[in-house]
Structure 1
Amino acid sequence: MDRPVLFDIDGTLVDSTQVVTTIWREVATRYGVDADPILKVCHGRRDEDVVPEFFSPDLVASVVREIADLELLQADLVEPIRGAASVLNSVTEGRWAVVTSGSRALMTARMRGAGLKIPTVFVAADDVSQGKPHPEGYLLAASQLGVDAMSCVVVEDSPAGVAAGKAAGAAVVALAGTHAPESLMTADVVIENLNELARAIKSLPA
Structure 2
Amino acid sequence: MKNRIVKLITPIKSNCNNLINISKSRVPISATTKTIYDTVDYFENNIFLKDELKIETKPVRHKTDLKNIINLHNDDGIKDVAQIKRMVQKIEFGNDILHNNKMPNIKLVKTAAAEWVLFDGHHSLLAYMLAGKKYLHEVPQLVVLDEEKGYVSAEEILVFFGEHSKKLKGSAWRKKVVNWQATKEKQLGQRIQANMGELLKSIIFF
TM-score strictly above 0.5: no
Using the size of structure 2 for normalisation, the TM-score is 0.26
Using the size of structure 1 for normalisation, the TM-score is 0.26
More helix by share: 1
